[in-house]
Amino acid sequence: MTVTMGGALNAALRDALAADDDVMVFGEDVGTLGGVFRITDGLTQQFGEERCFDTPLAESGIVGFAIGMCLTGFRPVVEMQFDAFAYPAFEQITSHVAKMRNRTTGRVGLPLVIRVPYAGGIGGVEHHCDSSEGYYAHTPGLKVVTPSDAADAYSLLREAIDDPDPVVFMEPKALYWSKQDIELPCKRPAFGKAKVRRDGDDVTLVTYGPSVPTALKAAEAAAEEGWSVEVIDLRTIVPFDDETVVRSVRRTGRCVVVSEAQGFAGVAGEISARVTERCFHSLAAPVARVSGLPTPYPAPMLEKTYLPGVERILDAIARLQWDDQPDLTYAEVGARG
Amino acid sequence: METTVEAMTAALLPSPNPVQLIDPTGAEVEQAGTRRDYPMPSAARLREVWRAMVIGRRFDIQATALTKQGRLAVYPSSRGQEACQVGATLSITGDDWLFPTYRESMALVTRGIDPVEVLSLLRGDSHCGYDPIATKTAAQCTPLSTQLIHAAGAGYGEKRRGTDNVALAFIGDGATSEGDFHEALNFAAVFEAPTIFFVQNNKYAISVPLSKQTKAPSLAYKGIGYGVPCEQVDGNDPAAVLAVMDVALQHCRGGNGPFLIEAHTYRLDAHTNADDATRYRSSDEVSAWLERDPIARVEAWLRAHGELNDDIVSATNAEAEAKAAELRDRMNADPSVDPMSLFDNVFAARTPQLDEARAMVATELAADSKEV
């Protein structure tokens, strides 16, 4: 059957609520309305206000309240309405959610899922398009998960809800309406297992979430130019699947990391460093990054320029020293331009 | 005719003056003008609170001494706030939740948690030495007011489980300026969570006086905008603290949602041993608060009622001394902390990245032990 990513997420929440009475869904507008993206559509109607409910409009309160409910044995799944709207909850997430198991010597685990619709590409206005995964991935104690298709959306969300640790579940909102022909419920590989979305021999594209379809398009276009491109979808940023990435890059000898978040001090930089540390002697060229620009997320009419697209990925592939000549892009000392 | 809104507001208001049942001399205060009835607690409860305050104060002094001996990295004293620390804590049961801050060490000892486990955070061998689930006592919280929302959630969780257990959360006056204080009151109110917010207004947030935190008539009034009933109490009067806690508990256990208490008290010591209180307050001010000692006044009342005599006082002092000596001895032993435990509780199971870091540290430690 044809399922959208949004529909798969809705099905995952529905099945989790049915499977475990301790699961609760709450946040802003998730009740009667069914969420601004309709991911919680129909849950209050089916399971009642007790299981899926609206909260006051305060993100720190939502996450902190969920922590308290965990202490009494519940498994809350909370929604942050948009990426940038989660920032008021940042202290609760970094100081408590991430640290609780550690600061209590393993005595208090928080089986909590924080759903965050994130990233751009939907023409959203200010504060609705941030790629905030780096903040969470940088914080020890948080699992950071991001699906790129409907099947993973279902499987990873079910796993996140069952996980004994807190999971920041990043939903690429531009892919909410993407469709896939699958049967639900479905079970995909567990956290920490990346998926090779396309096999290739010449270059490895490492990517995740909203950038996966773009990377696949770029791989298709690259094939026409004679490059065989492998595409790895991380699925979980934390835990990170070094093994799949390293195995691929050692074989292809070239790597481009693609992420929508701006590049400086971000997840793409971390991946690039890990690959360089582990694959240096197999690399024919430096690991390249194709990312968002080092600017705040732009106004909708400029987002096409901002987002890493097929052309920018192809340009990066083209610079991977195919003729064994040094890439002079970074020949100048200091930042280019 | 009074409007519904006026009636609703009136039901939330605190008493115009802090509730006081025993004055600093030990005399009973005639009750007039309080918004609710506050009967005198039984002599037996007052004696229990008095005893725990004597032990609690001695513990607090011992902990301060342990910082001077280098056994604790830092200690935020609550000397002078015994009526709050002990009175509020003894008002709840072991089935209720407690959400303490870093200043509540005395409250935790009063709750029956091993003092060495309590001081684990400040000694530096772990972030929390006791089991928060087994004791129903959250880890001591440092980011101000953040634990209040957890208390609202835990209170709501208890309600959903069908118990009449409550969550008691402590904070100080400065923390009422934090956003989470307001979100916690609001969430607790909206979800009718049985949560008691107990503000120990000890007049200073480190050095900043209350006048720079708020323009409210009194911190107790901050509940009204959220529909939370409020009370203010003489936080150096153990009898009044018990009486107000009883009303708050009855309110919460009756399914009526949260309650906010402001206790007017004073921190006799500096913020911590690392602070110099003479930079922001006068010795005259401190002396005036010494006159309002919570232990002395309830001791005077108990003696006047034939509930306490010299023998009991000296026996209790000896008991407190013995506990302090035992604590000192136990704290003089160096705790053993295993570096490899660093990797155990980041997640329920280690990730490959944690395994990698763990292997590196294991190699380093093995190399170190060979060098020795």
Per-residue model confidence (pLDDT) at position B309: 97
Domain count, chain A: 2
With CA atoms as reference, report the closest residue to B233 among B8, B54, B10, B16.
B16
Residue A124 and residue A265 share a domain: no
Cβ <8 Å between A91 and B143? yes
Residue A231 and residue A128 share a domain: no
Domain extent, residue A302, equals 195-330
Residue B347 and residue B211 share a domain: no
For A210-262, write each residue's pLDDT tens digit. Answer: 999 999 999 999 999 999 999 999 999 999 999 999 999 999 999 999 999 99
Per-residue model confidence (pLDDT) at position A334: 81
Q: Which residue from B139, B190, B351 is facing A104, i.e. has the nearest CB?
A: B139
Residue B226 and residue B357 share a domain: no
Residue B331 and residue B296 share a domain: yes
Q: 3-state secondary structure string, chain B? A: CCCHHHHHHHHHCCCCCCECCECCCCCECCCCCCCCCCCCCCHHHHHHHHHHHHHHHHHHHHHHHHHHCCCCCCCCCCCCCHHHHHHHHHHCCCCCEEECECCCHHHHHHCCCCHHHHCHHHHCCCCCCCCHHHHCECCCECCCCHHHHHHHHHHHHHHHHCCCCCEEEEEECHHHHCHHHHHHHHHHHHCCCCEEEEEEECCEECCEEHHHCCCCCCHHHHHHHHCCCEEEEECCCHHHHHHHHHHHHHHHHCCCCCEEEEEECCCCCCCCCCCCHHHCCCHHHHHHHHCCCHHHHHHHHHHHCCCCCHHHHHHHHHHHHHHHHHHHHHHCCCCCCCHHHHHCCCCCCCCHHHHHHHHHHHHHHHHHHHHC
Residue A302 and residue A218 share a domain: yes
What gap in Å lies between CA A42 and CA A52, rounded to an integer? Answer: 9
ipTM value of the model? 0.96
Residue B349 and residue B266 share a domain: no
The answer as to whether A186 is a domain residue is no
Residue A292 and residue A176 share a domain: no
Residue B355 and residue B313 share a domain: no
pTM score: 0.97
Residue A130 and residue A18 share a domain: yes
The answer as to whether A335 is a domain residue is no
Number of Cβ within a 10 Å radius of residue A190: 13
CA B188 to chain centroid, in Å, comes to: 19
Residue A124 and residue A51 share a domain: yes
Residue of chain B whose alpha carbon sits nearest to that of A238: B351
- In order along its 372 residues, chain B shows pLDDT tens digits of 567 999 999 999 999 999 999 999 999 999 999 999 999 999 999 999 999 999 999 999 999 999 999 999 999 999 999 999 999 999 999 999 999 999 999 999 999 999 999 999 999 999 999 999 999 999 999 999 999 999 999 999 999 999 999 999 999 999 999 999 999 999 999 999 999 999 999 999 999 999 999 999 999 999 999 999 999 999 999 999 999 999 999 999 999 999 999 999 999 999 998 899 999 999 999 999 999 999 999 999 999 999 999 999 999 999 999 999 999 999 999 888 999 999 999 999 999 999 999 999 999 999 998 876
* Chain B positions in Cβ-Cβ contact with residue A67 (cut-off 8 Å): 149-150, 153
* Chain A positions in Cβ-Cβ contact with residue B150 (cut-off 8 Å): 64-65, 67-68, 71, 96
Residue A222 and residue A163 share a domain: no
Cβ <8 Å between A74 and B351? no
- Asked if the C-beta of A8 comes within 8 angstroms of chain B's C-beta atoms, the answer is no
Cβ <8 Å between A239 and B143? no
Task: Please give, rounded to a whole number of angstroms, the shortest distance from the CA of A179 to a CA of chain B.
Answer: 32
Residue A153 and residue A44 share a domain: yes
Residue B310 and residue B273 share a domain: yes
Domain extent, residue B187, equals 4-337
The answer as to whether A281 is a domain residue is yes
What gap in Å lies between CA A15 and CA A163, rounded to an integer? Answer: 15
Burial code of A293-322, b = ≥16 C-beta within 10 A, e = fewer? eeeebbebeebeebbbbbebbbebbebbee
Per-residue model confidence (pLDDT) at position A329: 83
Task: Please list the ranges in chain A whose pLDDT falls under 50.
Answer: 337
The answer as to whether A212 is a domain residue is yes
What gap in Å lies between CA A94 and CA A143, rounded to an integer? Answer: 12
* Chain B positions in Cβ-Cβ contact with residue A72 (cut-off 8 Å): 153-154, 157-158, 160-161
Whether the Cβ atoms of residue B169 and residue B147 lie closer than 8 Å to each other:
yes
- Asked if the C-beta of A189 comes within 8 angstroms of chain B's C-beta atoms, the answer is no
CATH (domain of A116): 3.40.50.970
What gap in Å lies between CA A50 and CA B65, rounded to an integer? Answer: 51
Tokens of B271: 């913020």
* Chain A positions in Cβ-Cβ contact with residue B156 (cut-off 8 Å): 65, 68-69
- Asked if the C-beta of B335 comes within 8 angstroms of chain A's C-beta atoms, the answer is no
Residue B295 and residue B178 share a domain: yes
Residue B135 and residue B93 share a domain: yes
Residue A200 and residue A177 share a domain: no
Residue A214 and residue A124 share a domain: no
Residue A285 and residue A154 share a domain: no
CATH (domain of B321): 3.40.50.970
Window A:251-280, CB contacts with B under 8 Å: none
Cβ <8 Å between B346 and A68? no
Whether the Cβ atoms of residue A118 and residue A69 lie closer than 8 Å to each other:
no
For A261-298, write each residue's pLDDT tens digit. Answer: 999 999 999 999 999 999 999 999 999 999 999 999 99
Cβ <8 Å between A65 and B156? yes
CATH (domain of A278): 3.40.50.920
Domain count, chain B: 2
Residue B154 and residue B254 share a domain: yes
Out of A141, A159, A181, a domain closes at A181
Residue B367 and residue B220 share a domain: no
- Asked if the C-beta of A61 comes within 8 angstroms of chain B's C-beta atoms, the answer is yes
What gap in Å lies between CA A187 and CA A179, rounded to an integer? Answer: 17
Residue B346 and residue B247 share a domain: no
The answer as to whether A336 is a domain residue is no
Residue A154 and residue A205 share a domain: no
Residue B348 and residue B327 share a domain: no
With CA atoms as reference, report the closest residue to A171 among A61, A79, A241, A257.
A79
Per-residue model confidence (pLDDT) at position A333: 83
